[in-house]
Structure 1
Amino acid sequence: MSSLLTFSACVAEASPLPFHGFAAGLGVGTEGVGIQGSTAIIPKTLNLNVGFDYLHLHDSLHTNNVRYSAGVNLQGEPITVSWFPFQGNFNLTAGLFINQNRFSVTGTPTGGTYTLNGHTYTASQVGSLTGKTHFNGAAPYVGIGWGDPMDGGRLTLTANVGAIYEGAPNVSLTATGAAANPQLAGDVQSEQASLNSKISGYQWWPVMGVGLMYRFG
């Protein structure tokens, strides 16, 4: 038994843990307000970063004679690796966002009517006009940053700029009156295509943020 314990102790000394220290803090940016954590895989060279971000926004969209109020929920858990090529503050960062971003839209008539695909309908004919969209669940991220929370003083100010690729958003638009009106059902589909064209630019989400990190140990 003593020989086994001695062997285990030698292995533990020869195989140190792959992570070196830990830092945590708060951040704010275009992806929301969140918490962040970092640890060094290779000190002064490679860090592993995880976090959680959240932000709720309101926006409006217009297509033809329909005005939409949009609720935008930004939520994600970034898992990234930062490489410090010069063993300083500058870094190149890449990884994935566990992406839970989503849009919800509600259409309201202008002047009491909707114009869908060139056809005019009263508000009572259309009923409730709503839509929802989701993005890719795993969204790749690439960017550059400044600040190494695992090196230097206890407190580190960090900054990052990059982009998340979420994939093309696709709104599923429905109208409660479409079930009893085949023409309206077809026009809602055309309106859906027009709305998706309006939000196609959201497949890329720009990332700009700053954070304050505290290193433990």
Structure 2
Amino acid sequence: MRSTTLALSALATALLVGASFSAHAGGIGVRAGTNGVGGDIGWDVLPTLKARLGYSAGKTNFTVDDTSINYDGKLKLSQPALFLDFTPLGPFRITAGLIGSGSKVQVTGKPSGGNYVINGVTYSAAQIGTVTGELRAKNSLSPYLGVGYGNVSGLGVNFYVDLGVQATGGAKATVNASCGSLSAADCNTLRSNLNAEAARLAGSNSLKYYPVASIGVTVGF
């Protein structure tokens, strides 16, 4: 997460320096959408090119039930972003950028009848305790491409809309449980089964291309 933020900050600094000789407008915006609630700082780079530095966050709970274990899931969104808006047609634009993938899904397994079935093997909750896991995007920086209406760096109060796709590269997952009272051989088997469950969890919850849609309000100056 730190390296992602530093990379975006370096890109933003370079754009700010490059724009310092030609910028005539700036603004701030607040928005909400599929990437959570967030905001942007925008500025002009060239007459038809604008830049935005933003951040989005949010939380939601849901159930994951498409593997052999049912999970309670908690999605925690945390996404710094840098966008370039190409505006040859006034308020209509094409947007490209990078979104930091600091988001994660934390899952907790729900035993059925006091048991877990992991990769076809049944374990009692008393044997292995709680099954937990985590999913993250494979890409630490996700390319973004989309279209939109409205610009953050425009005079007055306006609204802006974004529709696009974030290329996450798919999901990677880990699943954990303690060996508890299992023998050393059974513990090794459990670890192997947990790895197989993690691969199954990532594969069934893998969105290589995440849809992004948001709407917000800007104040320009």
Q: TM-score, normalised by structure 1?
A: 0.84
1:192 is matched by which residue type in structure 2?
A: A
The structural deviation recorded for 1:134 is 2.7
Range 204-213 or range 112-121, more displaced: 112-121
Structure 1 residues 117 and 99: alpha-carbon distance in aligned structure 2, compared to 1, 3 A threshold: closer
1:103 and 2:109 correspond: no
- Counterparts of 2:191 and 2:80, CA distance in 1: 38
Does structure 2 conserve the Cα–Cα contact (< 8 Å) formed by 1:31 and 1:207? yes
Q: State the match for 1:191 in structure 2.
A: 197
- Counterparts of 1:139 and 1:191, CA distance in 2: 26
Rg larger for: 1
Q: State the match for 2:9 in structure 1.
A: none
Q: 2:169 aligns to what SS in structure 1?
A: coil
Does structure 1 conserve the Cα–Cα contact (< 8 Å) formed by 2:83 and 2:97? yes
Structure 2 segments unaligned to the other structure (5+ residues): 1-18
- Counterparts of 2:196 and 2:166, CA distance in 1: 29
The structural deviation recorded for 1:57 is 1.3
Structure 1 residues 64 and 85: alpha-carbon distance in aligned structure 2, compared to 1, 3 A threshold: closer
Q: State the match for 1:90 in structure 2.
A: 92
1:19 is matched by which residue type in structure 2?
A: A
Q: State the match for 2:12 in structure 1.
A: none
Output one character per residue of 1:145-199: Cα deviation in whole Å (capped at 9) or x when no partner. 0013444x50111111001111221111111127742332222222222211211
Range 156-165 or range 116-125, more displaced: 116-125
Does structure 2 conserve the Cα–Cα contact (< 8 Å) formed by 1:65 and 1:109? no
Q: 2:172 aligns to what SS in structure 1?
A: coil
Q: How does 1:135-146 map to 2 (within 5 A)?
A: 135=137, 136-146=139-149
The structural deviation recorded for 1:99 is 2.2
The structural deviation recorded for 1:105 is 1.1
1:58 and 2:64 correspond: no
1:212 and 2:201 correspond: no
- Counterparts of 1:16 and 1:122, CA distance in 2: 64
Q: State the match for 1:9 in structure 2.
A: none
Q: Which runs of 4+ in 1 moved over 4 A?
A: none
Q: TM-score, normalised by structure 2?
A: 0.83
Q: State the match for 2:167 in structure 1.
A: 165
The structural deviation recorded for 1:16 is 6.8
Structure 1 residues 64 and 77: alpha-carbon distance in aligned structure 2, compared to 1, 3 A threshold: closer
Q: Between the two proteins, what is the percent identity of the paired residues? A: 28
Does structure 1 conserve the Cα–Cα contact (< 8 Å) formed by 2:27 and 2:218? yes
> Of residues 164, 181, 188 in structure 2, which corresponds to 1:182?
188
- Counterparts of 1:133 and 1:64, CA distance in 2: 14
Does structure 2 conserve the Cα–Cα contact (< 8 Å) formed by 1:65 and 1:110? no
2:212 is matched by which residue type in structure 1?
A: V
The structural deviation recorded for 1:18 is 3.2
